Structure 1
Amino acid sequence: MRIVVAGGGLIGARHIAHVADHPKFDLVGVIDPDPKVRAAAPVASFVSIEAVDVPVDAIIIATPTDLHAANAEAAAKRGWHMLIEKPVAGTLEQAERVVAAVERAGVTALVGHHRRYHPKVQALKTALDAGRIGSTVLASMIWAVRKPDEYFDVPWRAGRAGSPIMINLVHELDLLRFLFGDVIHVSGFGSGVLRGQGRIESGGVTLGFANGPVATLAFADTSPSPWGFEAGTGENPNIGTTNQDMLWITGTKGSISFPSMTLWEGAEDWSQATQPNKMAIAEGVPLVAQLEHFADVVAGRATPLIDARDAAKTLAVTLQIEAVLMGGQGQ
């Protein structure tokens, strides 16, 4: 499959490397308006989707979120299948534009919530669906990092658009939706007192799910900690690995912690102590697994693990949390 990558930022660079290294894919171009990014491209580079003049089967859209809809429309006009980085778009209206463009052109769109492909996430989903801990009751998650000061040298990151909710928590929220289903209730409180740039930088969220579970999520991008998906799993080379759990789930028959995949079982009630049992899970690279799934979807061998319509549901919850926390932000 001949692939062009649009966007050469942090995640775009990872896509470029994975496509270039994979024997089943042919990286044929990099698209970015920045001449420095184009100059560093390992293949032909272009300033826009419209400027691409080589044969292309599919595009990975890793541009800023607010450009996703316009990029998807341009790619659809060229008949390219697309893998769109998360979130699918910046607003629900933009997400609808993505859905309409894809359906109008008859092309495939997969959205890059790549944590769904992590082997431990897949194993966790299988264990929950199989009833290993009974019916899910509660979940508690922590995502806390300290972003370096130079991260905010990019102007938009220093303002409201740089909120970790849309940039980072969208991953955690999609993971919870993948595990537990649709969200029907959101509440929470946010704070922005440390950097003082009018952006949410930390907070706590409570989520209610249609089939019963309640989850809490505490987050911050101002606090170094061992707790977070990237730190716990080691899946992001830009974030230090700690191998510590960051998600704890309780059920009617037991509990499980992630990513250690420790099952706590064997207690009928509080008079007995649950006993730990670690599940052995094979290693894998989520972005590569996502890329291979994308190829299967394009070839008609699989249905999208998350298409634009499903991704719009994650976006809706994320936007709702952003609004709730901005409304109750502590100063």
Structure 2
Amino acid sequence: MKRILVVGGGLIGMRHAQAVMHHPDCALVGLADPDPTIQIDAPRFSCMGSVEAEVDGAIIATPTHLHADHGIEAAQRGWHVLIEKPVAGSVGDAQRLQAALQGAGVQSLVGHHRRYHRSLQQLRGKIAEGAIGRVINVSLLWAMRKPDSYFQQNWRTSDGSPVMINLVHDIDVLRFVIGEITQIAALRGASLRESERIESGAIALAFDTGATGTISFTDAAPSPWGFEAGTGENPNIGTTGQDMMWITGTQGAISYPSMTLWQGQDWGTAATRQPLETPIQDQPPLAAQLDHFLEVIDGAAPLIDVADAARTLEIATMIEETLRAQPAGAGYS
């Protein structure tokens, strides 16, 4: 039985705590959070420093800007860590955290949970085996309308960019499936909620494989297109089952999450759809991630550690900074 401490009692932290409580191979040591009003059937601690019980692993689900300090504190106590995404508030913080983990000799895992979708793992495998030949380009669309209450009287009103909150996941998906991103360019769209917050934009990407890609995004438009809507992974977002990513190659194309595979030769003959059996997601990605964290504690190689997640954060930061340098709605008349 692995002894797990959850640090941070917000929405995702409580989901982690429930997952630990229901897992047959681990026990919840307790929840560390300074808010005494949080209700949970487990021991409560105001901070990690007040935990005297033995801990094998800590799940860090505090606000992003605290990830590095909390991860370092856990590492200094010899606890392996699962840290929510983004891995840290800055690339420098992620590097500082990585150095502390190496110095303490503890393992890390980062909560880019989409990597645990069996369909995404299948997509990565199909790309790697050459099912569509050499990848040429990829197009990804994320368009949702967040409710107005999401931005009321909190930090998101001015700083709730979907790049760091949402697109950081999509960036990691592209790195996982296509390859390392080596170059970006970005254009900022209009801010429709009468704030200076980034709400929409278009991003061009170059990969180390020679492929290129685009991301179009907004959190101000209701649509059926987005990873959460397409896969049904988030209970707070309506499920549509619609594709949101399209990949072309020298021998065909594939779309996700339907895993619709097309193969062909040239434009004189229509591409043909190839039968493809898709895997069943037998458990939620968050539960699969917890399974893997227990393996990581025992020494297994992590699916994504702090060093790997820092590269995703670096790309997201580059995009965020490029967009912030532009006035809202630049190019609109």
Query: TM-score, structure 2 length as denominator?
Result: 0.95
Q: How many angstroms does 1:242 deviate by?
A: 0.7
Q: How many angstroms does 1:4 deviate by?
A: 1.0
One-letter code of the match for 1:57?
Answer: D
Q: Does the Cα contact within 8 Å between 1:245 and 1:257 map onto a contact in 2?
A: yes
Structure 1 residue aligned with 2:323: 325
Q: How many angstroms does 1:145 deviate by?
A: 1.0
**Superposition pairs of residues 99-138 of structure 1, within 5 angstroms:** 99-138=98-137
**Superposition pairs of residues 221-240 of structure 1, within 5 angstroms:** 221-240=219-238
Q: How many angstroms does 1:153 deviate by?
A: 2.8
Structure 2 residue aligned with 1:7: 8
Structure 1 residue aligned with 2:268: 271
Structure 1 residue aligned with 2:217: 219
Q: How many angstroms does 1:282 deviate by?
A: 1.6
Moved more, 44-53 or 119-128: 44-53
* Correspondence 1:257 to 2:252: no
Q: How many angstroms does 1:13 deviate by?
A: 2.0
Q: Deviations over 1:119-138 (max 9, x none)?
A: 01100000000000000011
CA distance in 2, matches of 1:119, 1:96: 30
Q: Does the Cα contact within 8 Å between 2:198 and 2:328 map onto a contact in 1?
A: no
Q: How many angstroms does 1:192 deviate by?
A: 4.6
Mind listing any 5+ residue stretches in structure 2 that lack a counterpart?
none
CA distance in 2, matches of 1:146, 1:287: 24
Q: How many angstroms does 1:328 deviate by?
A: 2.3
Moved more, 282-291 or 224-233: 282-291
Q: Does the Cα contact within 8 Å between 1:244 and 1:260 map onto a contact in 2?
A: yes
Q: How many angstroms does 1:62 deviate by?
A: 0.8
One-letter code of the match for 1:33?
Answer: P
Moved more, 22-31 or 274-283: 274-283
Q: Deviations over 1:223-253 (max 9, x none)?
A: 1111111110011112111111000000111
Q: Deviations over 1:20-73 (max 9, x none)?
A: 111111112111122222xx1221111111111222111110111100011011
Moved more, 72-81 or 147-156: 147-156
Q: Does the Cα contact within 8 Å between 2:6 and 2:61 map onto a contact in 1?
A: yes
Considering only aligned residues, what root-mean-square deviation do their CA atoms show, in Å? Answer: 1.2
CA distance in 1, matches of 2:29, 2:229: 33
CA distance in 2, matches of 1:93, 1:204: 26
Give the one of 298, 305, 308 matched to 1:307: 305
Moved more, 130-139 or 288-297: 288-297
Q: How many angstroms does 1:183 deviate by?
A: 1.1
* Correspondence 1:280 to 2:278: yes
Q: Does the Cα contact within 8 Å between 1:142 and 1:246 map onto a contact in 2?
A: yes
SS at match of 1:33: coil
CA distance in 2, matches of 1:141, 1:245: 9
Q: Does the Cα contact within 8 Å between 1:165 and 1:322 map onto a contact in 2?
A: yes
Q: How many angstroms does 1:191 deviate by?
A: 2.7
Q: Does the Cα contact within 8 Å between 1:260 and 1:278 map onto a contact in 2?
A: no
Q: How many angstroms does 1:84 deviate by?
A: 0.4
* Correspondence 1:26 to 2:38: no
CA distance in 2, matches of 1:150, 1:62: 22
State, as a whole percentage, how many aligned pairs show the same letter: 52
CA distance in 1, matches of 2:56, 2:251: 48
SS at match of 2:49: coil
Q: How many angstroms does 1:196 deviate by?
A: 2.5
Structure 2 residue aligned with 1:60: 59
Q: Does the Cα contact within 8 Å between 1:254 and 1:264 map onto a contact in 2?
A: yes
Q: Does the Cα contact within 8 Å between 1:144 and 1:223 map onto a contact in 2?
A: yes
CA distance in 2, matches of 1:322, 1:14: 28
CA distance in 2, matches of 1:16, 1:192: 39
SS at match of 1:13: helix
One-letter code of the match for 1:319?
Answer: T
Mind listing any 5+ residue stretches in structure 1 that lack a counterpart?
none
**For residues 263 and 113 of structure 1, do their structure 2 counterparts lie closer, same or farther at Cα, with a shift above 3 Å needed?**
same
CA distance in 1, matches of 2:168, 2:316: 6
One-letter code of the match for 1:270?
Answer: W
* Correspondence 1:50 to 2:49: yes
Q: How many residue pairs are counted as aligned between the two chains?
A: 326
Query: TM-score, structure 1 length as denominator?
Result: 0.95
One-letter code of the match for 1:67?
Answer: L
Q: Deviations over 1:189-241 (max 9, x none)?
A: 12352112221111110110011111110111111111111110011112111
Q: Deviations over 1:265-284 (max 9, x none)?
A: 2x210011112234321213
Q: How many angstroms does 1:154 deviate by?
A: 5.0
